[in-house]
Amino acid sequence: MDARSAQEVPDGDPDALYRDRESLASATQAARIWSARLENDARDFESAWKLARIRYWLGTNGLPEQERKASLELGVAAGRTAAALEPRRPEGHFWMAANMGALAESFGLRQGLRYRRPIKEALETVLALDPAFQAGSADRALGRWYFEVPGLFGGSDRTSETHLRKALSYNERSIITRLFLAETLWALGRKEEARAELRTALDAPLDPDWAPEDRRFKAQAEGLLTQYSR
């Protein structure tokens, strides 16, 4: 990187800005910094996977609805870049899959069909590389994959439960995993177990590293418990 290009990178500590990601201004500035760094150095693995991660946040929480799909697509591209740069590291594979999953879940059947197999393959790669990555995040995401995908295309609520319980073995206080497990158990007809999982999610403390996400998951768990208690 020469002096001229270095000056073009926006100011700020992107990691600190990411920690303040509930502020849209902070999140978008972090994305700009990591994007500029990657443009200046196409082999910058750290910027690539962190760009994929912030693009996922912006595409699922931060941006107005009409801008979310584009952010997730940029996240897929950044994750793919990271995975190509360091194929033996889990970060790129995981955040590529996360962005694909959000696209598949939120933007229609075409997106779901397009990304169904690549999501599963990327998450299985993470499991092969480091099953404990981010406290079992690949098992949790695979649990969700098996829940969301129709049985005709490989989905299975029982396999979903298996992966989610494996994820809990890494972090039994994971609010999102309890939430996902509750939905899977409800689909399996185990209604009281599902309600118990939601109560556990509501009682769990916020993870300091994932507090913005956890607050949203607690709100979802509260709404779901109300629905399941009718």
- CATH superfamily, region 132-230: Tetratricopeptide repeat domain (1.25.40.10)
Give tens-digit pLDDT for 137-186: 999 999 999 999 999 899 999 999 999 999 999 999 999 999 999 999 99
Give residue-wise pLDDT tens across range 106-119. 876 666 678 899 99
Query: Which CATH number is 17-130 given?
Result: 1.25.40.10
Rounded to two decimals, the pTM is 0.92
Q: Quick: pLDDT tens for 19-66.
A: 999 999 999 999 999 999 999 999 999 999 999 999 999 999 978 989
Question: In which residue ranges of the chain is CATH 1.25.40.10 found?
Answer: 17-130, 132-230
CA gyration radius for the chain? Answer: 18
- What pLDDT is stored for residue 72 in this prediction? 96
Task: State how far the alpha carbon of 58 is from the alpha carbons of 75, 112, 173, in Å.
Answer: 9, 20, 25
